[in-house]
Structure 1
Amino acid sequence: MTRERVAEDEGRGMQVVRAQQGLRELILAGDLPPGKRVSEPAMVDRLGVSRTPVRLALERLAQEGLVAPGATGGFVVRAFTAADLADAIEVRGTLEGLAARLAAERRPTASDLAPLRDCVAALDGVVGRPALSEADFDAYVQLNAFFHEELTRLSGSTVVARAIEQAAAQPFASPSAFVQLHATEPVGRDTLVIAQDQHRLLLEAIGRGEGARAAALAAEHARVAQRRLRAALDDGDRLAGLPAGSLLRLAAARA
């Protein structure tokens, strides 16, 4: 393959990623509402990429579940119910339970676990404060994302990692989707304290090689997100501040 062909393929790949990110943002922001057919020519103009990357990006978003094939061709934006969102969180929790079990059964060394231990220590420093600022919640989101990435990495399975990535891409299924819902309020800190205790217990179970316990803890950990989802569905005034809040409002209406 010539150098020019390689550069051309890399450029097309970057366009697909750009189109995928742009389309996802438009959907989650409500600019492309549920049931709306996505016009490829319109997206070419809006996203500044050619038509083939738009089509490939839509195919990837269909795999994520954000769009679905239309009855007359093309793709339409999917509508989500509260049950859909709850199921997506449950799937992620189940897959992370598998990752935790595999990680424990690998019997990772102290060196393997060092990044996770450092992350848990940093999270302790955040949630241990008497009152949390918005900056503290932002720090928690970043550290929490790293914790879940490390958990997946320790599984040693690329298959499980891909499945978790796809599950977490569903609306509101990511580990930190609802962290900012009650930011700076006591209930928000209380929820993070519970989640952090589960982080610590998960780390201990993996370090001891307790696969079944690690899997159960990871599944239980996802139930914290389920409680946040229910709180979000019951708290319509706060939804506007959440990414994809418009989708959540529509899901609450369908519940």
Structure 2
Amino acid sequence: MDLKDAASPDARNGSASQTVRALLGIRELILGGELTPGSRISELWVVDRLGVSRTPVRAALIRLQEEGLLEPITSGGFAVRTFSETEIGDSIELRGTLEGFAARLAAERGVAPEMLDALRECVDHIDVALEGDLTQEKFSIYVEMNARFHKLLASAARSRVAEQQIERVMNAPFASASAFVMVQSIEDGAREMLLIAQSQHRAVVEAIENREGARAEALMREHARIAHRNLRLALQNQKALARLLGGNLIRRDTV
């Protein structure tokens, strides 16, 4: 390939897609447990394992370090990290704070009718999913719509700064709005807890529509407490921890 070809849009797009493939592949190996906590990741091993070239692999490893899944080691390369209960709790708390800020901005600045409609539609879909018995299919719909609700909320603030910071904390391990939702699926009272979360979703939309900034912010910060509860549940219940993607990376705090 000559220099002109290397600089072409097709070449750049191909390189980007290879990096994404490497990123997703390595993340899956880590969260799926094939790469265990503390294990060193060799670039050449990943190249052979995933069938991508070395440059995209290197870019993916750097990105995963930025996300927090990997840490550099003195001898070179990267190792899989573990995460303490406190670290994860802090990340959840930070997400709740940022989402509260976004909700307040959305309420104070006002949102377009199209955004309100999208938020309401998302909440309506969750209502349907929570009707009757909570099947696996309905639970999957809840997880999908829950993630969409939080993404829409970040956009509703009309603040690029807030949206970028929320996206950044969402990418932190176990900090996203859906990170611990699957833990609830093993509980007898799973539907009741999801109904509480759903009532908070609907109340936030109402507060934003009514331009109640302080109320919208408080609701979203309280909403994050459910994730704290699910983290505690996962750490107290081996079955719950096993259901959690990447659960083997979590360690309990030592006194």
Q: Above 0.5 in TM-score?
A: yes
Q: Given the alignment, which residue of 192, 202, 218 partners 2:220?
A: 218
- 2:28 maps to which residue? 25
Work out whether residues 186 and 240 of structure 2, in 8 Å CA contact, stay in contact via their aligned partners in 1.
no
Work out whether residues 150 and 177 of structure 2, in 8 Å CA contact, stay in contact via their aligned partners in 1.
yes
- Structure 1 residues 195, 106: closer, same or farther in 2, change over 3 A? same
RMSD (CA atoms): 1.9
State the shift of 1:185 in Å.
Answer: 4.4
1:61 aligns with 2:64: yes
Q: Given the alignment, which residue of 103, 120, 127 partners 1:117?
A: 120
Same amino acid, percent of matched pairs: 48
- 1:238 maps to which residue? 240
1:91-170 paired onto structure 2 within 5 Å: 91-127=94-130, 129-170=131-172
Q: Deviations over 1:151-199 (max 9, x none)?
A: 0111112332222222112222221222222427441111101100100
**Letter of the aligned partner of 1:80 in structure 2?**
F
Q: For residues 150 and 183 of structure 1, what CA distance do their matches in structure 2 show?
A: 24
Deviating more after overlay: 184-193 vs 44-53: 184-193
Shift >4 Å, 4+ stretches: 1-4
**Letter of the aligned partner of 1:25 in structure 2?**
E
State the shift of 1:22 in Å.
Answer: 0.9
- 1:189 maps to which residue? 191
**Letter of the aligned partner of 2:52 in structure 1?**
V
State the shift of 1:231 in Å.
Answer: 0.7
Unaligned 5+ segments in structure 1 are none
State the shift of 1:225 in Å.
Answer: 0.7
Work out whether residues 181 and 232 of structure 1, in 8 Å CA contact, stay in contact via their aligned partners in 2.
yes
Q: Deviations over 1:74-114 (max 9, x none)?
A: 22211211111111111111111121122112211333310
Q: For residues 254 and 60 of structure 2, what CA distance do their matches in structure 1 show?
A: 28
Q: Given the alignment, which residue of 13, 34, 43 partners 2:16?
A: 13
- 1:43 maps to which residue? 46
State the shift of 1:45 in Å.
Answer: 0.7
- 1:252 maps to which residue? 252
Q: For residues 205 and 2 of structure 1, what CA distance do their matches in structure 2 show?
A: 55
Q: TM-score of the superposition, structure 2-length normalised?
A: 0.92
Deviating more after overlay: 36-45 vs 158-167: 158-167
- Structure 1 residues 208, 3: closer, same or farther in 2, change over 3 A? farther
Work out whether residues 89 and 225 of structure 1, in 8 Å CA contact, stay in contact via their aligned partners in 2.
yes
Aligned length: 252
Work out whether residues 179 and 188 of structure 1, in 8 Å CA contact, stay in contact via their aligned partners in 2.
no
Q: For residues 201 and 190 of structure 1, what CA distance do their matches in structure 2 show?
A: 17
Work out whether residues 153 and 161 of structure 1, in 8 Å CA contact, stay in contact via their aligned partners in 2.
yes
